[in-house]
Structure 1
Amino acid sequence: MEEGEREEEELLWSWGAGSEGQLGRGRVEDEHLPQLVFLPLPHLSISQISCGGAHTIALTSGGRVLTWGRGTCGQLGLGDLENSLQPKPVKFLESFVISHVSAGWNHSGFVSASGRLFTCGDGSFGQLGHGDYQSHWSPVEVSFFVSKHVGQIACGMRHSLVLLKDPSGDSIYAFGSGKRGQLGISIDRVKRSFPLPEVITVFNNGDIVTIYASGDHSAALSANKQLYTWGRGFSGFSDYYHPQLLPSPEKFSQVALGWNHALLLTDDGGVFMLGGNHHGMLSSPVRGSLDRQEPDHCPPCTSSYEVCRPNFLKVAGLDGIKVVSIAAGAEHSALVTENGLIMTWGWGEHGQLGLGNTCDRTTPQIVSLGNTSSNAHTRLKVYCGSGFTFSVKSVCKS
Structure 2
Amino acid sequence: MEEGSGMHSSSSDGTGSIRRVLLISAGAGHSVALLSGNVVCSWGRGEDGQLGHGDADDRFTPTQLGALDGREIVSVTCGADHTTAYSESQSQVYSWGWGDFGRLGHGNSSDLFSPQPIQSLQGLHIKQIACGDSHCLAVTMKGEVLSWGRNQNGQLGLGTTEDSLLPQKIEAFQGISVKMITAGAEHTAAVTEDGELYGWGWGRYGNLGLGDRNDRLIPEKVSSVEHEKIILVACGWRHTISVSSSGSVYTYGWSKYGQLGHGDFEDHLIPHKLEALHEHCICQISGGWRHTMALTTDGELYGWGWNKFGQLGVGDNSDHCSPIPVKFPDDQKVVHVSCGWRHTLAVTDRHNVFSWGRGTNGQLGHGDSLDRNVPKIIDALSMDGSSGQQIEASKVDISSEKITVLPTERYAVVPKENSAFLLGRDGNDSSVPENDVKRMRI
Is residue 230–residue 239 contact of structure 1 (8 Å, CA) maintained in 2? yes
Q: Return the offset for 1:147.
A: 2.4
In 2: Cα distance, 1:282 partner to 1:101 partner? 25
SS at match of 1:202: coil
SS at match of 2:224: helix
User: Which residue is 2:401 aligned to?
Assistant: none
Letter aligned with residue 281 of structure 2: K
In 2: Cα distance, 1:334 partner to 1:322 partner? 14
Q: Return the offset for 1:213.
A: 0.9
Q: Say if 2:80 is the partner of 1:53.
A: yes
In 2 relative to 1, CA 370–140 (structure 1 residues): closer, same or farther, beyond 3 Å? closer
Letter aligned with residue 44 of structure 2: G
In 2: Cα distance, 1:41 partner to 1:144 partner? 37
Is residue 171–residue 206 contact of structure 1 (8 Å, CA) maintained in 2? no
Q: Return the offset for 1:285.
A: 5.2
In 2 relative to 1, CA 144–206 (structure 1 residues): closer, same or farther, beyond 3 Å? farther
2:143 aligns with one of 92, 95, 115: 115
User: Which residue is 2:334 aligned to?
Assistant: 323
User: Which residue is 2:300 aligned to?
Assistant: 270
Deviations 1:303-362 (A, max 9, x none): xxxxxx921211144452111111110011111111111110011111110111111101
Deviations 1:250-290 (A, max 9, x none): 1111111111211111111111112242212346659xxxx
Is residue 143–residue 176 contact of structure 2 (8 Å, CA) maintained in 1? yes
Is residue 202–residue 243 contact of structure 1 (8 Å, CA) maintained in 2? no
SS at match of 1:369: helix
Is residue 282–residue 346 contact of structure 1 (8 Å, CA) maintained in 2? yes
Is residue 32–residue 357 contact of structure 1 (8 Å, CA) maintained in 2? yes
2:123 aligns with one of 89, 95, 98: 95
Q: What does residue range 264-343 of structure 1 map to in structure 2 within 5 Å?
A: 264-282=294-312, 310-318=321-329, 320-343=331-354
Q: Say if 2:157 is the partner of 1:129.
A: yes
In 1: Cα distance, 2:198 partner to 2:176 partner? 12
Letter aligned with residue 158 of structure 1: E
Q: What does residue range 383-398 of structure 1 map to in structure 2 within 5 Å?
A: none
Q: Return the offset for 1:235.
A: 2.5
User: Stretches of 4+ moved more than 3 A in 1?
Assistant: 203-206, 282-286, 316-319, 370-374
In 2: Cα distance, 1:280 partner to 1:211 partner? 24
In 2: Cα distance, 1:313 partner to 1:9 partner? 35
In 1: Cα distance, 2:108 partner to 2:122 partner? 17
SS at match of 1:92: helix
Deviations 1:114-170 (A, max 9, x none): 1111100000111001111000111011111122212211111000012122xxx43
SS at match of 1:73: helix
In 2: Cα distance, 1:373 partner to 1:274 partner? 28
User: Which residue is 2:200 aligned to?
Assistant: 175
Q: Say if 2:284 is the partner of 1:254.
A: yes
Is residue 285–residue 313 contact of structure 1 (8 Å, CA) maintained in 2? no
Q: What does residue range 214-229 of structure 1 map to in structure 2 within 5 Å?
A: 214-229=236-251
SS at match of 2:361: coil
Q: Say if 2:214 is the partner of 1:184.
A: no
Is residue 234–residue 261 contact of structure 1 (8 Å, CA) maintained in 2? no
In 2 relative to 1, CA 38–348 (structure 1 residues): closer, same or farther, beyond 3 Å? same
Structure 1, 99-108 or 229-238: larger mean CA deviation: 229-238
Letter aligned with residue 201 of structure 2: G
2:235 aligns with one of 206, 213, 235: 213
In 1: Cα distance, 2:122 partner to 2:226 partner? 34
Structure 1: 5+ residue stretches without partners:
1-6, 287-295, 297-308, 375-385, 388-398
Letter aligned with residue 239 of structure 1: D
Aligned length: 343
Structure 1, 226-235 or 69-78: larger mean CA deviation: 226-235
Is residue 171–residue 204 contact of structure 1 (8 Å, CA) maintained in 2? no
Q: Return the offset for 1:19.
A: 0.6
SS at match of 2:321: coil
Q: Return the offset for 1:22.
A: 0.6
SS at match of 1:201: coil
Q: Return the offset for 1:373.
A: 8.1
User: Which residue is 2:268 aligned to?
Assistant: 240
Is residue 343–residue 356 contact of structure 2 (8 Å, CA) maintained in 1? yes
Structure 1, 218-227 or 358-367: larger mean CA deviation: 218-227
In 2 relative to 1, CA 371–177 (structure 1 residues): closer, same or farther, beyond 3 Å? closer
In 2: Cα distance, 1:212 partner to 1:170 partner? 14
In 2: Cα distance, 1:327 partner to 1:202 partner? 27
Q: Say if 2:50 is the partner of 1:22.
A: yes
Give the alignment's TM-score, normalised by structure 1: 0.80
Q: Return the offset for 1:40.
A: 4.4
1:145 aligns with one of 173, 184, 189: 173
Q: Return the offset for 1:89.
A: 1.2
Q: Return the offset for 1:45.
A: 3.3
Q: What does residue range 25-44 of structure 1 map to in structure 2 within 5 Å?
A: 25-40=53-68, 42-44=70-72
Letter aligned with residue 185 of structure 1: L
Structure 1, 310-319 or 67-76: larger mean CA deviation: 310-319
Q: Return the offset for 1:196.
A: 1.5
In 2: Cα distance, 1:370 partner to 1:151 partner? 30
In 2: Cα distance, 1:142 partner to 1:73 partner? 18
Letter aligned with residue 336 of structure 1: V
In 2: Cα distance, 1:153 partner to 1:43 partner? 25
SS at match of 1:78: coil
SS at match of 2:285: strand
Is residue 352–residue 381 contact of structure 2 (8 Å, CA) maintained in 1? no
